[in-house]
Amino acid sequence: METISKLPEKKAVIGTKEIVKGIAAGKIKEVIVASNCPEELVKKLGKAQVRIFEGTERELATKLGKPFLVAMAGFE
């Protein structure tokens, strides 16, 4: 898996259930996961392209402008 420090400019889908649904529907092609994202959540992503964000869940949330922890974000 590739490690990145900058997020795509596209709108992010947040929430494991929503991301898994988006992958199944073919809408989500890439998932960015925080460096401290639990392994059991990553396993739910199947064959989507997964990249590791260099920061923690808190830092990923800050990049996305969210006031809560974000373990992963999906992008089209």
Report the number of distinct structural domains present in the chain: 1
What's the CATH number where 36 sits? 3.30.1330.30
What is the maximum alpha-carbon separation in the chain?
29
Beta bridge partners of 2: 51
Q: What is the DSSP string of the chain?
A: -EEESS--SSPPEESHHHHHHHHHTT---EEEEETT--HHHHHTTTTSEEEEESS-HHHHHHHHT-SS--SEEEE-
Taking 90 as the threshold, does the pLDDT of residue 2 lie above it? no
- CB contact at 8 A, 14 and 73: yes
Per residue in 10-42, pLDDT (tens digit) is: 999 999 999 999 999 999 999 999 999 999 999
Structural domain that includes position 40: 2-6+14-75
